[in-house]
C-alpha cells in the first residue's frame, strides 16, 4: 500500500463512508489467473457521488460487486485488500463515544470482505444497495413487481411491517409465530395452509395490506405513476425506464448509506437515460446517500459526480475532483478518453480513438498496463508499476499513477 | 385470454383429436389382419365361423367395421376381449385403476425426486453431491427398465425379502370394498390401515423401478436449467436485497428453472405409461399393461383399441395440464396465441 493514502489500514477518517484499499480480485481460467482487479484503492466520502469510470472489462463492475460479496468463488478469488465500511451500528469498543478504532465517529467500522454470510446479508439491501445495469435482467420475470420490492421490507423492516399493519402490540403466540414466518418467507406447507384460514388469514391480510402500502410508497418515491397498479404487473409488462425505476425504488427502499449504481442507464434509451440520472441525483441529494456511480461514459459522470476514479485494466490510473479531471487530465489514458468524447466542436466524420487494444489480464507482467498503447512511453514504463501519487503538493486529492509526473 | 377460456377451448378440440386418433389406430390394428382368430376355437365348423364373422361384423369392409365400432362405443360396448374372456367394458375399469395407481405413484416418485435431486445438484454444482446425483441419473437414463426391475426384484424380494410382489395380500384385498379400484384409496375409504400399508408396501418397488428413468431425465433437466438460472442477473439482484440463499434458490431461481422442466415432465408421462407394460409383467401387477401384452400377442384387437384410445386421451389431458402450468410459471406466455 502506498504511504500517502488518506486512510489507515483498519479505520476510516471521519468523513468517509467507505474505503477500498489494495483490492485484488482474480478469476481462475484455463489460461491462468485473470487479474481483473489488481490493487485498487479509493475512498467514498459520506454523502458524495463518486464516479468509477473505465471501459468494458476494466474491472469496475467486479469492484462494485466486491462491496456486496457478490463475486462467485470459485472461479473468483479474493486475493487481497479490504473494503472498510462505516456501518450504522455503534462501535463495540467505545460504545459510541469515539475511540481510535472508529476514528472518533462512534460507529463500528467493518471490513466488507471479511464479514460472514449472515453479517453481509444484514447490510445488503439495507445499508448498501445496488442498482444493476440491465433492469430487464435484474428483475425476476416470474414474480410481480410487488413481491419483488416487498422482499426488501420483509427482510429488513419486519417491525415496520407489523407496526403499519397495526398488530405489533396485539400479536401473541401462534399468530405471531406464523406471521413472522410469513414475513421472513420461511413458511412451509403446513404454516402456509394455516395462514389461509381464520383467524390467521385476517392478520395475514393486514400484513399484506401493510406491505402493499410500503411498496407503493417506495414506488411513488421514484415517480412511478399509478404505483398501486404497477405493483401487480410483471416486469415484461413495463418499459425499460419503468423497470429501472422499480430497481431504484427497491434499492433505496431502506434508505441505504451507500448506493452502488452499476451503469444504471446503459441499457436505457437516450431519452430515458437523462431522466433516470436526474432521479438518482435527486434522491441522492434528498436522502444524503453516498453513491458509487459506475459508468463507461466520462461526460455522464462529469455531469453528476463530485469525484472520479478512472480505471484501466484492473488498476486506478487517475483520481480526483470530477471537474479537475475533465479539464486537466494528467494520465495519458484519461487524456485519450476525453479526446475520444464526441463534441459539437469536432470536425464531422472525425473521431479520436485510443490506438491499440486492452492488454490481456491473464498473469500480467510488471510495468504500467497502459504502456503498450501510450504515446509518451518512457524506458521504465515496461519495467515497474507506477504508483498512485498526488500530482502536486497543492492539490493532494488529484492523484495519478504515471511516471511522467514523478 | 383467460385461462378458463383457454381450457374450455382446448377441451372442445379434444373430441376431434380423439376421433382422429381412433381412425388411425383402428386402421393400423386392422392392417394386422382380421381379429376373428381370437373368437374362434378348433371345434368350430365353417358355418359357425361365418356366423361369428357376421356377429362381429367382420364380413363387412373395414370402414363399415369402424362405424360399427364407434356405434358400440357410444352404447358403452367396447367389444369382447378374447384374452380376458369377458367384455372389455367389464374388465377395463379395474385394470385401468391398477395401472393408473402404479403410473401415478411412479409419477410422484419421478417428479418429486427428480426436482429435488436436480435442485440439490444444481445448487451444489461440481461438489460431491452433484457428482453422485449425476452418476445416479446417468444410470437411470441409460439402464433398461426390464433389467433394473429384475435387479430390484432379485435384491429386495428374493434376497432381502423386504418388499413383496404382486399388487396386494389377497386376504387384505378381499377384506375391503373397491369403489374406486385404487387399492390405496379404497383402503383409506374403508379405514383399514393394514390394507393401506399393504397397498403402499406393494406399490413401492414397482413405482421406484418405473419412476427411475423419468426421475433421471427430470433431475438432469432441472439441474442444467437451475445452473443456467443461477447465472442470471436477477439472482444477484435478489442476493443484493439481503435475501437468504434458501429464498434466492427456492423463490427466485427454482421457479424459473421449472419452466423447461415442466415440459419434460409432460413428455415423461408417456414414457411412464409405456413402461407400465414391462413393470407390470415383471412385478406381476394385475393392470392394463400385462393384459395389453397378451392382447397384442394374441391379436385381441378390441382390447388394443381401448387401451390405445385411453392412453391417448390421457396424454392429451396431461399435455393440457402441462400447458396451463407452463403459462402459470412463465408469465410471458400468452395462452391461445
Q: Is B333 on the interface with A (CB under 8 A)?
A: no
Query: Does residue B160 lie in a domain region?
Result: yes
Q: Is B261 on the interface with A (CB under 8 A)?
A: no
In chain A, what are the domain boundaries? 1-140+256-351, 145-230
Which one of A138, A146, A149, A247 would you mutate to disrupt binding with B, by most B Cβ within 10 Å of its Cβ? Answer: A138
Query: Does residue B337 lie in a domain region?
Result: no
Confidence at residue B30, expressed as pLDDT on a 0 to 100 scale: 84
- What would the pLDDT profile of B317-327 be if each residue is shown by its tens digit? 888 888 888 88
Q: Do B242 and A134 touch (CB under 8 A)?
A: no
Q: Do A151 and B243 touch (CB under 8 A)?
A: yes
**H or E, element range at A297:** none
Which one of A62, A124, A141 would you mutate to disrupt binding with B, by most B Cβ within 10 Å of its Cβ? Answer: A141
Ramachandran region, residue B126 (left: φ > 0; alpha: ψ -120 to 50; beta: rest): left
Exposed e or buried b for every residue in A97-119, given b needs 16+ CB within 10 A? ebbeebbebebbbbebbebeeee
Q: Do B240 and A185 touch (CB under 8 A)?
A: no
Confidence at residue B107, expressed as pLDDT on a 0 to 100 scale: 92
* Reported ipTM exceeds the 0.90 cut: no
- CA–CA distance from A81 to each of A41, A170, A294 (Å)? 9, 49, 20
Q: Is B234 on the interface with A (CB under 8 A)?
A: yes
- What would the pLDDT profile of B146-177 be if each residue is shown by its tens digit? 999 999 999 998 899 898 888 888 788 777 88
Question: For A2, which DSSP code?
Answer: -
Q: Is B242 on the interface with A (CB under 8 A)?
A: yes
Do B288 and B324 reside in the same domain of the chain?
Answer: yes
Query: Could you tell me where the DSSP H helices lie in A68-172?
Result: 117-123, 135-138, 145-156, 158-165
Q: Do B330 and A247 touch (CB under 8 A)?
A: no
Question: To the nearest whole percent, how much of chain A has pLDDT over 90?
Answer: 5
What average pLDDT does range A267-280 have in this prediction?
85
Do B72 and B165 reside in the same domain of the chain?
Answer: no
Confidence at residue A12, expressed as pLDDT on a 0 to 100 scale: 55
Count chain A–chain B contacts defined by CB atoms under 8 A: 78
SS (H, E, C) A147-210: HHHHHHHHHHCHHHHHHHHCCCCCCCHHHHHHHHHHHCCCCCHHHHHHCCCCCHHHHHHHHHHH
Do B91 and B48 reside in the same domain of the chain?
Answer: no
What residues in B contact A138, CB-CB < 8 Å? Answer: 233-234, 236-237
Most confident of A268-277, A320-329, B159-168, B212-221: B212-221
* Cβ atoms of residues B329 and B225 within 8 Å: no
What average pLDDT does range A375-385 have in this prediction?
78
Query: Does residue B336 lie in a domain region?
Result: no
- What would the pLDDT profile of A145-154 be if each residue is shown by its tens digit? 999 999 988 8
The three three-digit cell numbers of residue A42, written as one number: 479509493
Do B10 and B116 reside in the same domain of the chain?
Answer: no
Query: Does residue B334 lie in a domain region?
Result: no
C-alpha distance from B136 to closest chain A C-alpha (Å): 25
Confidence at residue B84, expressed as pLDDT on a 0 to 100 scale: 81
Nearest CB among B233, B238, B251 relative to A137 is that of B233
Q: How many CB atoms lie within 10 A of CB B170?
A: 9
A1-140+256-351 adopts what CATH topology?
Rossmann fold (3.40.50)
What residues in A contact B239, CB-CB < 8 Å? Answer: 68, 70, 124
Confidence at residue A266, expressed as pLDDT on a 0 to 100 scale: 83
**H or E, element range at B34:** none
What residues in A contact B255, CB-CB < 8 Å? Answer: 140, 142-143
Q: How many CB atoms lie within 10 A of CB A144?
A: 18
DSSP class per residue in B128-189: HHHHHHHHHHHHHHHS-HHHHHHHHIIIIIIIS--S--SS--HHHHHHS--SSS-HHHHHHH
Residues of A with CB under 8 A from a CB of B: 65, 68, 70, 117, 121-126, 129-130, 132-134, 137-143, 151-152, 155-156, 185, 234, 236, 247, 250
Q: Do A122 and B242 touch (CB under 8 A)?
A: yes
* Cβ atoms of residues A144 and A231 within 8 Å: yes
Do B17 and B59 reside in the same domain of the chain?
Answer: yes
Which one of B241, B327, B334 would you mutate to disrupt binding with A, by most A Cβ within 10 Å of its Cβ? Answer: B241
Q: Is B239 on the interface with A (CB under 8 A)?
A: yes
The phi and psi torsions of A178 (rounded to 5 degrees) equal -65, -45
What average pLDDT does range A268-276 have in this prediction?
84
- Rounded distance between C-alpha atoms, residue A378 and residue A186, angstroms: 62
Do B133 and B248 reside in the same domain of the chain?
Answer: yes
pLDDT band at A4 (very low <50, low <70, confident <90, very high): very low
Q: Do B330 and A141 touch (CB under 8 A)?
A: yes
Confidence at residue B227, expressed as pLDDT on a 0 to 100 scale: 93
* Domain of B71, in residue numbers: 3-77
Q: Is residue A320 classed as helix, strand or coil in its secondary structure?
A: strand
Parts of chain B with a pLDDT under 50: none
- Rounded distance between C-alpha atoms, residue A127 and residue A85, angstroms: 10
Of B16, B50, B77, which closes a domain?
B77
Q: Do A123 and B242 touch (CB under 8 A)?
A: yes
Contacts of B247 (CB under 8 A, 6+ apart): A151, A185, B238
- What would the pLDDT profile of A42-101 be if each residue is shown by its tens digit? 888 888 899 999 888 888 889 999 998 888 877 888 888 888 888 777 666 666 666 666
The three three-digit cell numbers of residue B71, written as one number: 356405434
C-alpha distance from B105 to closest chain A C-alpha (Å): 21
Q: How many domains does chain B have?
A: 2
Q: Is B77 on the interface with A (CB under 8 A)?
A: no
Does the structure show a pLDDT above 70 at A393?
yes
CATH code for position B192: 1.10.3720.10
Query: Does residue B55 lie in a domain region?
Result: yes
Does the structure show a pLDDT above 50 at A6?
no
Of B57, B77, B97, which closes a domain?
B77
Exposed e or buried b for every residue in A42-70, given b needs 16+ CB within 10 A? bbbbbbbbbbbbbeeebbbbbbbbbbbbb
Amino acid at each position: 500500500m502506498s504511504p500517502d493514502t488518506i486512510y489507515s489500514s483498519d479505520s476510516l477518517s471521519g468523513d468517509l463512508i467507505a474505503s477500498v484499499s489494495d483490492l485484488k480480485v482474480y478469476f481462475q481460467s484455463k489460461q491462468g489467473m485473470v487479474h481483473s482487479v489488481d490493487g485498487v484503492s479509493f475512498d467514498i466520502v459520506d454523502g458524495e457521488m463518486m464516479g468509477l469510470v473505465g471501459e468494458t472489462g476494466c474491472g469496475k463492475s467486479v469492484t462494485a460487486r466486491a462491496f456486496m460479496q457478490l463475486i462467485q468463488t470459485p472461479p473468483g478469488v479474493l486475493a487481497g485488500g479490504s473494503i472498510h465500511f462505516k456501518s450504522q451500528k455503534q462501535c463495540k469498543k467505545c460504545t459510541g463515544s469515539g475511540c481510535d478504532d472508529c476514528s472518533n465517529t462512534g460507529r463500528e467500522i467493518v471490513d466488507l470482505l471479511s464479514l460472514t454470510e449472515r453479517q453481509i446479508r444484514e447490510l445488503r439491501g439495507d445499508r448498501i444497495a445496488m442498482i444493476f445495469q440491465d433492469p430487464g435482467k435484474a428483475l425476476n420475470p416470474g414474480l410481480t413487481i410487488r413481491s419483488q420490492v416487498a422482499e426488501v421490507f420483509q427482510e429488513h423492516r419486519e417491525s415496520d411491517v407489523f407496526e403499519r399493519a397495526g398488530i405489533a402490540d396485539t400479536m401473541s403466540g401462534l399468530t405471531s409465530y406464523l406471521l413472522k414466518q410469513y414475513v421472513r418467507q420461511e413458511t412451509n406447507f403446513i404454516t402456509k395452509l394455516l395462514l389461509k384460514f381464520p383467524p390467521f388469514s385476517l392478520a395475514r391480510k393486514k400484513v399484506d395490506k401493510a406491505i402493499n402500502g410500503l411498496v407503493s410508497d417506495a414506488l411513488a418515491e421514484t415517480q412511478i405513476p399509478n404505483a398501486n397498479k404497477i405493483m401487480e404487473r410483471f416486469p415484461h409488462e413495463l418499459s425499460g425506464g419503468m423497470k429501472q425505476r422499480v430497481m431504484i425504488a427497491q434499492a433505496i427502499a431502506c434508505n441505504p448509506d451507500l448506493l452502488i449504481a452499476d451503469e444504471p442507464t446503459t441499457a436505457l434509451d437516450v431519452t430515458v437515460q437523462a431522466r433516470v440520472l436526474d432521479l438518482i441525483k435527486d434522491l441522492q441529494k434528498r436522502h444524503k446517500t453516498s453513491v458509487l456511480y459506475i459508468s463507461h461514459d466520462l461526460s455522464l459522470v462529469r455531469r453528476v459526480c463530485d469525484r472520479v476514479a478512472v480505471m484501466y485494466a484492473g488498476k486506478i490510473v487517475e483520481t480526483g475532483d470530477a471537474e479537475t479531471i475533465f479539464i486537466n487530465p494528467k494520465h495519458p489514458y484519461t487524456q485519450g478518453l476525453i479526446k475520444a468524447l464526441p463534441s459539437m466542436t469536432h470536425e464531422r466524420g472525425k473521431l479520436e480513438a485510443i490506438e491499440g487494444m486492452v492488454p490481456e489480464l491473464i498473469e500480467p507482467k510488471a510495468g504500467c498496463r497502459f504502456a503498450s498503447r501510450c504515446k509518451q512511453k518512457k524506458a521504465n514504463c515496461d519495467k515497474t508499476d507506477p504508483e498512485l501519487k498526488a500530482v502536486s503538493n497543492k492539490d493532494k486529492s488529484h492523484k495519478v499513477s504515471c511516471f511522467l509526473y514523478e | 385470454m383467460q385461462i378458463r377460456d383457454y381450457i374450455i377451448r382446448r377441451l372442445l378440440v379434444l373430441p376431434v383429436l380423439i376421433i382422429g386418433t381412433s381412425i388411425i389406430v383402428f386402421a393400423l390394428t386392422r392392417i394386422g389382419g382380421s381379429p376373428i382368430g381370437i373368437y374362434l376355437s378348433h371345434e368350430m365348423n365353417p358355418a359357425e365361423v361365418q356366423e361369428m364373422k357376421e356377429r362381429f361384423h367382420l364380413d363387412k369392409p373395414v370402414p363399415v367395421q369402424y362405424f360399427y365400432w364407434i356405434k358400440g362405443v357410444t352404447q358403452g360396448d367396447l367389444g369382447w376381449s378374447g384374452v380376458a374372456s369377458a367384455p372389455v367394458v367389464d374388465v377395463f375399469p379395474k385394470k385401468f385403476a391398477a395401472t393408473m395407481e402404479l403410473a401415478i405413484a411412479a409419477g410422484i416418485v419421478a417428479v418429486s425426486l427428480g426436482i429435488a435431486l436436480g435442485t440439490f445438484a444444481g445448487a451444489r454444482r461440481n461438489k460431491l453431491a452433484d457428482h453422485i446425483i449425476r452418476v445416479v441419473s446417468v444410470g437411470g437414463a441409460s439402464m433398461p427398465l426390464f433389467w433394473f426391475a429384475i435387479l430390484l426384484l432379485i435384491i429386495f424380494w428374493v434376497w432381502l425379502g423386504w418388499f413383496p410382489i404382486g399388487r396386494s395380500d389377497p386376504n387384505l384385498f378381499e377384506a375391503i370394498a373397491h369403489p374406486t379400484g385404487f387399492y390405496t384409496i379404497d383402503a383409506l375409504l374403508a379405514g383399514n390401515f393394514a390394507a393401506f400399508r399393504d397397498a403402499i408396501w406393494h406399490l413401492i418397488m414397482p413405482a421406484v423401478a418405473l419412476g427411475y428413468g423419468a426421475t433421471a431425465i427430470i433431475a438432469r433437466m432441472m439441474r442444467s436449467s437451475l445452473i443456467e438460472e443461477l447465472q442470471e442477473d436477477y439472482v444477484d439482484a435478489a442476493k443484493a436485497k439481503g435475501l437468504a440463499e434458501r429464498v434466492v434458490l427456492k423463490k427466485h431461481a427454482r421457479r424459473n428453472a421449472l419452466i423447461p422442466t415442466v415440459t419434460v415432465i409432460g413428455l415423461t408421462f408417456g414414457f411412464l405409461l409405456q413402461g407400465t407394460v414391462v413393470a407390470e409383467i415383471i412385478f406381476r401387477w394385475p393392470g392394463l399393461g400385462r393384459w395389453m401384452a397378451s392382447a397384442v400377442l394374441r391379436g385381441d384387437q378390441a382390447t388394443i383399441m381401448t387401451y390405445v384410445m385411453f392412453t391417448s386421451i390421457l396424454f392429451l389431458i396431461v399435455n393440457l395440464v402441462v400447458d396451463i402450468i407452463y403459462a402459470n410459471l412463465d408469465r410471458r406466455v400468452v395462452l391461445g396465441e
